Amino acid sequence: MKYIPKDSSREPESMRRWKQLAVNDPNYDYEYLPSKERKDLLDALIEEQGYICCYCGMEISDETSHVEHLTPQSSDPDLSLEYTNLLASCGISEKYRPKYYSVLHCKEHCGQKRKDSNLSIKPIDSDCETKFRYTGVGEILPKDDLSVKNLNLNYTELINLRKAAIEAAKSLLEEDFSNDEIDLFVKSFEKRDHDGKFQPFCFVITYFLKNYI
């Protein structure tokens, strides 16, 4: 899980205008947000997160993600349109499932698995990245953490993806790099690339590299 600093100024203008016009409407709710505004919202969330899932860190696009309500709509409907309560989680709608068969596992973890269950650690918590550890085979610890269980972050496919990211990081260390050079690798994975994207599972890679030093 990577820390996501929420910034209300990133809320799409189209969504802001719709909210202003609909604020006194009895249908002022996320359920009634028009498709264009939903698309603009999802695009803004994905960009804000560096194109990775708010929970697992796999790469996402507008076709392989959905808008996630951090505080579920069932718990607090008043937050259903609050930008700072909205994130982008991996997950594919029925429309795109035939196109993205290889990532259908998303329905078994993260937002689609969580539904309305509680989380002990959230991506908007500034210290969330320090709350988890990762084994060399890709498992996330502690296994009994509420967020790990409710998001099913130790789902087999996620473990395999994290393991592959760790193995790729290990290949960087096959040569005899100094600690300063490894530190540069860490810093590179903590930054977005020129397209504004984070490396998928970047926080797993930096955890491994930091513990290697």
pLDDT range class, residue 176, cuts 50, 70, 90: confident
Q: Residue 163: left (phi > 0), alpha (psi -120 to 50), or beta?
A: alpha
Name residues whose C-beta falls within 8 Å of residue 24's C-beta, 6 or more positions apart in sequence: none
- How many angstroms separate the CA atoms of 66 and 63, rounded? 8
Question: 68 with 89: CB under 8 angstroms?
Answer: yes
Any idea where the domains of the chain sit in the sequence? 8-212
Tell me the one-letter amino acid at 40. D
DSSP conformation letters of 88-119? EEE---GGGTTTTGGGGGGGGSHHHHHTT---
The 10s digit of each residue's pLDDT in 44-87 is 999 999 999 999 999 999 999 999 999 999 899 899 999 999 99
Q: Average pLDDT for residues 136-140, to the nearest whole number?
A: 94
The pTM of the full predicted model, rounded to 2 decimals, is 0.91
On the question of pLDDT at 123 being above 70, the answer is yes
